[in-house]
Amino acid sequence: MKYAVAKIQGKQYKLEEGQIIVVDKVSKEINPQVLLFVNEDKVSIGTPTVKSCEIKFKKLDDKKEKKIYVRKYKAKSRYRKKIGFRAQKSQLLVEKIS
């Protein structure tokens, strides 16, 4: 079994070939920091990153998440406010780990 643990935009993901992951919206250039690489019985642990491991991604789609509503209220002053927010996400396909 071949997999890697990589840091993308400050969050860590366990990645395998052919896997689809959802991350915060990214541009075309994705530079993950590989922290751990496992290939069958060989384990490479980075100090802090594994230099010899490279991960190739293919960007599939950009989507928005479900809307989150935030409400503000102050008692006895007739102040009410409702704000909506939708986070933008990208779907990535892990093509190759080498």
Q: Cα–Cα–Cα angle for 54, 15, 47, nearest 5°?
A: 55
Model's pTM, two decimal places?
0.82
R_g of the chain computed on alpha carbons: 19
* pLDDT value for 9: 92
Residue 3 has pLDDT above 80, yes or no: yes
pLDDT, tens digit, 9 for 90 and up, residues 22-74: 999 998 788 899 999 999 899 999 999 999 999 999 999 999 999 999 999 99
Residue 83 pLDDT class (50, 70, 90 cuts):
very high
User: What is the arithmetic mean of pLDDT over 11-26?
Assistant: 95
